Amino acid sequence: MRVMSPRRLLNKSVNEHRLKPVPLFMGFSLCGLFRLLAWWLGLCFFCLGLIFFRYPGFQNDELLFAATVFRRSASVYILPIGRGLPLMALSYLGTLKSWLWGPLLRYSVSEATVRLPAVLLGALTVLLTYRLVERMHSRRAAVVATCILATDASFFLTTCFDWGPVALQHVFLVTGMLLSVHFAQTGGRSFLFFGFLVFGLGLWDKALFLWILSGLAVAAVVIYPREVFARLSVRNVALSLLGLVVGASPLVIYNVAHPLETFRSNSHFVFNEFAGKWWLLRVTFFGNALQGFITNVVSPPKPHGPGNLLEAVSFRLHELTRAGPLTVSLEEPALLAAVLLLPYLLFTKARRSLLFVLIAFFVAWLQMAITQGAGGTVHHTILLWPLPAMFLGIAFAQTSMRATWLLVVVALAIAGSNLIVLNEYLYTLIRNGGTSAWTDAVRPLARYVVESRPRQVVVYDWGISIPLEVITKERILPLWTDAPVLSPTVLKETEALWVGHTEGNEQFAGVNARIEASLRAAGFEKAPAAVIADGFGRPMFQVFRLRKVGGWD
């Protein structure tokens, strides 16, 4: 008779409990209830997207991918096949999103066609995170992790408006991890191949995916060395490399045609930015880092009140919670509590899962911290998600094995604080609108420019050119110029419309004064044509033509 150790008996009973549905009532099981909750959370995420997507105007980087849909020359590399296949939008940014969104945008360029597909990908990430954490630990942990992730303000906003872009990055990360876990647990080589194929697609979408991919690799070798080396056969290595190369083949082709351009252009390291990047990581946990970036926290000349029942509920919730732009989520205190529980958790069955997530997280973040120009904005730090939510879900589920009520209270408290932060964003967008980078004045500007039928449009400030080009589907192709030196090509277009931001809304500080000085030096002055205001009464764009100094309009 075989005698099993108490630890093995415990693990066996836990696994049996995980596999067998526990009957509840009316035909439901505990397994079915948990999965229903996961689908409900994914639906909640999508519904939040339906609420938010229409408020701010288009931002320049949000539409960067769309430029290659209408103009192949917007790509830095086009594969010379047929009419040409755009492969890379920038040295580190692929055109995968352009390919996926292209049919929608050719039909219509709207907030729905640009943003709702990204929201769908975010909801898919939530559902896949449930499956991943369920495989790594338990359904209890999976429900808590998805509850936190689905309401996380930083994750939601960066996904919904996807100016990073980050939506595809999250899907590829979680899908690749899930397929890899399936391979580790079943040995099915198809899971290995397709897992690395997905990781390769992540690299093509954005080469910065290498940060999190290397974090996962280091964590796997450190925490699961026996399992990794047991699977390290020639066939498995060949399959994983084949999948990775196939998925990242456009990036590989580009770096062959332009030898290692992605790495030569973006691998510059510094070691004195840790403090600032650590603080940005913390405010990403807070959830309020995008207040004042997307939302305009300054009261406008014409603040809006609630226009429908949903907006009235948002305003009322704002009053009841007495929230403000500095309102923060409880995620950071929850993470601190989970870290303090580690000495206990390291003696439980969750220890390897928790250490795997922690190591992957910090290896990826350290690469951001030492890369010049990276990790200093929310759309970089959010690439580490959903690892924090996974860590919280596993840690709290393991700690509260005998106190389910405590787990429910913790999950609801974190998710509730997240929703309060999200509502503050919604309230501010409804009342004050977006900042000059996210202004709704960009559409009336596009209409004015199209109706003016200029021979040429000249833009001299950041954030105007690509929205004009994409919204008008290339009917407007602005010419970019910069102060203090104006090229003869620009100045000879005396019938051109010049477009810039109004004073105080410039993206490049002082650009209006510099452009006026350059024009005077060339013998020209501004002949004002129009001022375009946003829906809240703020003048956002100035439009003018050129005239000789001392001349007539």
- Identify the bridge partners of residue 473 per DSSP, sorted by sequence position: none
DSSP secondary structure string, 47-97? HHHHHHTTSS---TGGGHHHHHHH-GGGSSEEE-STT-EEEEEETTEESHH
Same domain? 377 vs 256: yes
Same domain? 120 vs 62: yes
- The structure's pTM equals 0.91
Same domain? 147 vs 185: yes
Asked whether residue 472 is domain-assigned, the answer is yes
Quick check: 334 and 410 in contact, CB under 8 A? yes
Same domain? 395 vs 493: no
Furthest CA-CA distance within the chain: 106
Task: Tell which of 367, 399, 432 closes a domain.
Answer: 432
Task: Tell which of 378, 400, 432 closes a domain.
Answer: 432
Residue for token pair 């439980």 = 348
| Helix or strand holding residue 289 (H, E) | none
pLDDT digits (tens), the chain, 553 positions: 444 444 443 344 344 344 444 454 444 566 777 788 889 999 999 999 999 999 999 999 999 999 999 988 889 999 988 788 999 999 999 999 999 999 999 999 999 999 999 999 999 999 999 999 999 999 999 999 999 999 999 999 999 999 989 999 999 999 999 999 999 999 999 999 999 999 999 999 999 999 999 999 999 999 999 999 999 999 999 999 999 999 999 999 999 999 999 988 888 888 888 999 999 999 999 999 999 999 999 999 999 999 999 999 999 999 999 988 889 999 999 999 999 999 999 999 999 999 999 999 999 999 999 998 887 899 999 999 999 999 999 999 999 988 888 899 999 999 999 999 999 999 999 999 999 999 999 999 999 999 999 989 999 999 999 999 999 998 988 988 876 667 776 776 667 899 999 999 999 989 999 998 888 888 888 999 999 999 999 999 999 998 888 655 4
How many structural domains comprise the chain?
2
Same domain? 413 vs 487: no
- Identify the bridge partners of residue 479 per DSSP, sorted by sequence position: 458
Task: Tell which of 432, 467, 499 closes a domain.
Answer: 432
Asked whether residue 15 is domain-assigned, the answer is no
Same domain? 211 vs 164: yes
Q: Return d(Cα 98, Cα 340) in angstroms, integer.
A: 44
Same domain? 380 vs 507: no
Domain carrying residue 444: 439-548
Same domain? 167 vs 287: yes
